[in-house]
Amino acid sequence: MDFCKFSLVTKQQSFMAKQPQYSKTQVAKYLSEAPSAVHAYITDLEKQISNLASIGLALSKEKDMNKLLEMILLEAKRIANSDGGTLYMMTNDERLRFEILMTDSLDFHMGGTSGKEIPFYPVKLYTDEGKPNKSMIAAFVGLTGETVNIKDAYKAKGFDFTGTKMFDEKTGYRSKSFLTVPLKNHEDEIIGVLQLLNAQDAKSKKIIPFTSDVQDMVEALASQAAVAITNKNLIQDLENLFESFIKLIASAIDAKSPYTGGHCERVPEITMLLANAVQETKEGPFADVSFTEKEMYELKIAAWLHDCGKVATPEFVVDKSTKLETIYDRVYEVETRFGVIKRDAEIKRLKKELKIERNESLSSDEKFEKIKNLKTEYRKTLRILKSDLEFVQESNVGGEYMSGEKKNRVYQIANYRWKPNGKMENFLSEDEIYNLTIPRGTLTPEERKVINDHIVVTINMLEELPYPKHLQNVPEFAGGHHEKLDGTGYPKGLVKNEMTVQARIMAIADIFEALTARDRPYKKGKTLSQAMRILGFMKNDAHIDVDLFDIFVKEKIYLKYAEEYLDPEQIDDVQI
């Protein structure tokens, strides 16, 4: 600053010395006053630089785009001491969209944080004929990237101020000086235009032109603003891309099999409903628990990714809707075997009838009686075979529990013998017996392990990603939704104090969605009362968090979710 002061004084001395119209007395007087004028100028310059530094820091920290844009316009108005201002942002179709409009003397504020929408159409950079629209200042600046400084719009030539003059006529306003500056990003692309209206003298408040110093300062601000806007848009674009990619993975998993359809999309809904309820709780164990905006976002991402490992799970296991299903349902083979046994029984009966008919030693009454007994025995065999077939078909569907008595009946049916290709074989193979006697559901322990291993794959996949700091807990949240508070869950067998609140929230969301899902081909979605009853049992068995379940019930999370995602017939009264 000492060098600046010296330079300014030297220039002034040189200028004054070259003015012959001034007397030596006048020159001496001016030079005696010059240091104080220079000092005032330097002080003001330092203040402006300090303000620019402060606004630059503020712009870099602001996350809300509306507040960011408004902060830019307000600071530009302050620097120029202008009465009005407009901020335009460039659209993808090469137009300038009105973002904020302000005129202090008219108490006029639209866009930004005002909550008032701007009714004006965007400014076209090109006419309908495809020619550059250089008649409007904002479009000209948006096309050329040049700053335009107009002292008086009513005297200026080269630009169309028809709209401005119409506005003045309607409002009684007088639009005079204009300063229009481009906002350029790091690639020198124009991303917006900043326009200031009617600079004012600080003391008299009269409308004056925008000085070159003010123009320089506003251009400096515009440069900072463009960087802040670009960074904000870049971060937002990256987050949108990341989130869209995550949803794409979830959609692919849901589309991979109708047996999990919609699960990855709906679990985040329940998760965030419960997380928000925990956030608002003012009493109980979670009274002091609160999640930041970043933590809520982290949980949402984890919920979307909680089953990403299923991308590696074989379809024939995921899609196993019956006990005998592999690539196809082998129950049809068993049905064919029953048909063969029925056919063989009928052939055997008919052969015996023929033999009786040919037996000349028997009277007609004796033949009739024997054939009658054969038919009675045959019909009894058919009834048994039909009952056994229906039992196998029913057992093949799978259910909540298969008793020991039913398992024994499977073993008895397996003792049937049949003769395909002329060779006597067991009616059921060892693998078919093993599958038909599955106690619950349709999966064998080995197949269930394959299904359960999806969570291991999920954790391994998620731990490979290079997360930013605010997403580093995603693998833990997503990987813990099959853990149980008593340590009997998987894959790590964690207990309550080893699990985060977020992981425990996801566990409830995952179970509730699976119970109520209405789009599973192998089962009907349970009613609310049925699902809540099962969750209640799981709470009592220390499989899910008691306190979280209480919030789930008290805040009626189940009902909020049901009203949007369940069929009306599933929504019944839940007795608390």
Judge whether 87 and 225 are in contact, CB under 8 Å: no
- With 80 as the cut, is the pLDDT of residue 13 above it? no
pLDDT band at 266 (very low <50, low <70, confident <90, very high): very high
E strand spans, 174-223: 178-184, 190-200, 207-208
Tokens of 265: 């999309």
Tokens of 101: 């409009």
Judge whether 167 and 174 are in contact, CB under 8 Å: no
Give 292-331 pLDDT, tens digit per residue: 999 999 999 999 999 998 888 887 887 788 899 988 899 9
Tokens of 536: 């209640």
- With 70 as the cut, is the pLDDT of residue 35 above it? no
Q: According to the model, what pLDDT value does residue 1 have? A: 42
Residue with tokens 């419960």, as numbered in its chain: 274
Pairing of strands 425-426, 417-418: antiparallel
Judge whether 512 and 340 are in contact, CB under 8 Å: no
Q: According to the model, what pLDDT value does residue 2 have? A: 44
CATH 2.40.110.10 given to domain 257-319+447-570: no
Residues 6+ apart with CB under 8 A from 62: 68, 71, 228, 232
Phi/psi of residue 180, nearest 5 degrees: -120, 120
> Worst-scoring range by mean pLDDT, 41-50, 190-199, 214-223?
41-50
The sign of the CA dihedral 21, 23, 27, 32 is: negative
Residues 6+ apart with CB under 8 A from 151: 176, 177, 209
Q: What is the mean pLDDT of residues 9-28?
A: 51
For the whole model, what pTM was predicted?
0.68
Report how far residue 265's alpha carbon sits from residue 561's, in angstroms, rounded to the nearest whole number. 13
Give 200-229 pLDDT, tens digit per residue: 998 898 999 999 989 999 998 898 888 888
Q: According to the model, what pLDDT value does residue 140 have? A: 96
Judge whether 229 and 69 are in contact, CB under 8 Å: yes
Q: What is the mean pLDDT of residues 102-125?
A: 93
Q: According to the model, what pLDDT value does residue 8 have? A: 46
How many Å is the Cα radius of gyration of the chain? 41
Phi/psi of residue 454, nearest 5 degrees: -60, -30
Report how far residue 502's alpha carbon sits from residue 509's, in angstroms, rounded to the nearest whole number. 11
Judge whether 474 and 302 are in contact, CB under 8 Å: yes
Q: According to the model, what pLDDT value does residue 252 have? A: 85
* Residue of 159, 154, 149 whose CA lies nearest to 213: 149
* Residue of 198, 226, 214, 196 whose CA lies nearest to 101: 196
Domain definitions of the chain by residue range = 1-61, 62-253, 257-319+447-570, 331-442
| Between residues 313 and 415, the one the model is more confident about | 415
Give 328-384 pLDDT, tens digit per residue: 899 999 999 999 999 999 999 999 999 999 998 989 999 999 999 999 999 999 999
Alpha helices in 314-438 (DSSP H): 315-318, 331-358, 364-397, 404-414, 430-436
Judge whether 110 and 117 are in contact, CB under 8 Å: yes
How many separate helices (H) and strands (E) can be counted in the chain?
19, 10
Q: According to the model, what pLDDT value does residue 15 have? A: 45
**What whole-number percentage of the chain has pLDDT above 90?**
61
Topology, domain 62-253: Beta-Lactamase (3.30.450)
Neighbouring-strand partners of residue 88: 98, 193
Tokens of 285: 């164990």
Report how far residue 540's alpha carbon sits from residue 553's, in angstroms, rounded to the nearest whole number. 14
Give the SS3 label for residue 521.
coil
- With 80 as the cut, is the pLDDT of residue 397 above it? yes
**Average pLDDT over the chain, rounded to whole?**
87
Q: According to the model, what pLDDT value does residue 58 have? A: 63
Phi/psi of residue 464, nearest 5 degrees: -80, -15
The sign of the CA dihedral 320, 324, 330, 336 is: negative
Q: What is the mean pLDDT of residues 55-78?
A: 79
**What whole-number percentage of the chain has pLDDT above 70?**
88
Phi-psi region of 487 (alpha: psi -120 to 50; beta: other; left: phi over 0): left
E strand spans, 41-94: 82-90
Q: Compute CA distances 9 → 33, 44, 490, whole Å.
A: 10, 16, 80
